[in-house]
Amino acid sequence: MWRNYHKRRWTCVMLSDSCGRMRSMKSAVFVFLRGEADLPRKIAPQQPFELPAVPKVSQSAVIAVAIFLVAHLALLIGLTAPEKFVFDEVHYVPAARQMLAPTMSQPMLNPMLNPMHPPLAKEMIAASIAAFGDNALGWRYPSTLFGALAIVAIYLCGLALFSAQGPAIAAAAIAGFNQMVYVQARIAMLDIYALGFGLLAIAAFMHGFRRERPHALFAFAGALFGLAAACKWSGLFPLGICIVMIAVIRLLQGWHTLFADAKPSDWYRPDLWPDLRVQHVALCFAVLPALTYLAAFVPLYGASLPDLIEAQRRIFADNTTTAIAGHTYMSAWPSWPLLARPVWFLFDKTSENNVSAIVCLGNPLVAWPALLALAVVLRDFIVARRWDALLIAAFYFGSWLAWALLPRTLGFLYYYLPAATVASLALVYVLRRDGLPRWLLWAYVGVAAIGFAVMLPISAAFIGTSMQTFNRLMLFQSWI
């Protein structure tokens, strides 16, 4: 049950079980950074559950900070090119400007506020404009922060899944060399904000999945999922995936299901989360997400419940309508893993034979091999019942196939961004299998880096390229 616990001069919210054992939210942060190398083994019921030691927390924290700084600095290079709106910045930057207006009446009726999406990402763009000015740097700077956070989150996911620094760093590098992440992290759109919050939430969930008492980590994940949804409703997809996984495991436990040849790597165990009650699940995956989500609306709508409800109705209506005109670069969800139809964010001729281009496409040397890796992951989940394969498959296929359930027909390749980023974990999962040489994983990281470098001239406007190079990179007619 949840209760307040007072100790010395500070107070923190604690989780306690029926025997009175307690753990603070503070310890969850250490577990989040440490990885799962010290997962508690199955113990006899009569033995008390002891908190494991916290090894190498400082090492993981230092590496996470280093990854963030390297990624952030790389994303900042040439960020202000072009110094004009790119693609959907034409919607979101004016909305941020409206939020900075001295008086802003009737936000629900103001089309400039882009009411079809929640306000959190636009509020952060507004804060950046207030700090850096109404210019290209002010519009795009927060996106670089969340792009770097997304890469750090993949590193944290790798720690949870692989229990080793090398594979976790490799996963972060592959995610960083995904051209789709690079492009979205350098434009004032909403998707990178939802991705950053969502991947951090997924990392927290993965770290808690195998622990006997995941309450604090699940609560942290739930709060982050609410923030992801407050940027864009697609942030709800991974939250739904978590709820489905917990419901299935609890259902099997209620049926007293047992595997005849149970193994430590099984995704299901009858003794998993012995103290996780229904009220804990509701708090972590319903109440906390709702609170953090609704908090983003308060600066615009205040605490008026009717206005908050009306805002959600508007978002729902706008995102489920089928009465949306087609778009030159629209594509259907089955085509996204194949990178069949990219989105041209920018194409400007700078001279007779040179262009400045931003094409949201993805790195083919990452996206296409990932499909083979995901087939292996899916096989291991079904046949070998591996818990790490379950988590990778669930968050990849759930984030992608959720779009198939929506009535809205207008879709774009960048909607595939969360699934494409999670796919880097599948590649590492396969390349570190027993029997494969250790150098193979890092050789592939090098291949991904080469693919990223080849695509860079059409990913960053400040580089530019010749028409001959541009035409060579457009491998298929559908890419033009």
pLDDT in tens, 323-376: 566 788 899 999 999 999 999 999 998 888 899 999 999 999 999 999 999 999
**Per-residue pLDDT at 301 exceeds 90:** no
Dihedral of CA atoms 226, 61, 393, 441 in degrees, nearest 10, equals: 150
Quote the CA–CA distance of 3 and 9 in Å, as a whole number: 17
Quote the CA–CA distance of 131 and 125 in Å, as a whole number: 10
The pLDDT score that the predictor gives to residue 108 is 52
Of the spans 14-18, 203-207, 354-358, 461-465, which averages the highest pLDDT?
A: 203-207
Q: How many angstroms separate the Cα of 262 from the Cα of each of 38, 95, 321?
A: 21, 54, 47
- Residues ≥6 apart with Cβ < 8 Å to 131: 138
The pLDDT score that the predictor gives to residue 224 is 98
Compute the mean pLDDT over every residue in the chain, rounded to the nearest whole number.
87
Using a cut of 0.75, tell me whether the model's pTM lies above it. Answer: yes
3-state helix, strand, coil in the chain (%, to 5): 60, 5, 30
Q: Which run of H or of E encompasses 3?
A: strand 2-7
Q: What angle do CA 231, 359, 394 make, to 5 degrees?
A: 50
Radius of gyration of the chain (CA): 23
Task: Compare 170 and 409 and report the one with higher pLDDT.
Answer: 170
**Per-residue pLDDT at 15 exceeds 50:** no
Q: How many angstroms separate the Cα of 304 from the Cα of each of 253, 301, 390?
A: 42, 7, 41
DSSP assignment, residue 210?
Answer: T
Q: Residue 212 in contact with residue 49, Cβ under 8 Å?
A: yes
Q: Which two tokens stand for residue 36?
A: 């799962």
The pLDDT score that the predictor gives to residue 251 is 96
- Residues ≥6 apart with Cβ < 8 Å to 96: 122, 123, 125, 126, 129, 139, 188
- Residues ≥6 apart with Cβ < 8 Å to 380: 386, 389
The residue ranges of DSSP E strands in 175-238, in sequence order, are: none
Q: Residue 184 in contact with residue 173, Cβ under 8 Å?
A: no
Phi-psi region of 178 (alpha: psi -120 to 50; beta: other; left: phi over 0): beta
Range with lowest mean pLDDT among 5-9, 176-180, 187-191, 376-380: 5-9
The pLDDT score that the predictor gives to residue 56 is 66
Q: Which two tokens stand for residue 75?
A: 């994303």
First to last CA, the chain: 57
